[in-house]
Amino acid sequence: MNPLNPKKLLLTKWTAKQPVAKNKHFLVSKVHYPEPPDTKIEFVELEAIYSGKIQLVPWRDLQDDSIWVQGWK
């Protein structure tokens, strides 16, 4: 399990263990901050480097070592 701080996720690099549609490398392009500032961050946008497609992912899913590896491997 990767120790992550949701406020420091912007522009971090990630590698998917199982590529989907030739997309293996991703960059956190946006952190979705909630409307009331007292609530916690829930989602981040991952942008695929190869295709440029964007997907919305709960940031806690990035802690799962069976799905994601931090950095480009």
Query: What domains are there in the chain, each with its CATH number?
Result: 6-70 (2.40.10)
Q: How far apart, in whole angstroms, are the C-alpha atoms of residue 25 and residue 3?
A: 20
**Tens place of pLDDT per residue across the chain (73 aa):** 557 888 899 999 999 999 988 999 999 999 998 888 777 888 999 999 999 999 999 999 999 999 999 998 8
Cα distances (angstroms) measured from residue 65 to each of 3, 18, 33, 39, 70: 11, 12, 24, 26, 9
Considering the entire predicted model, what is its pTM? 0.87
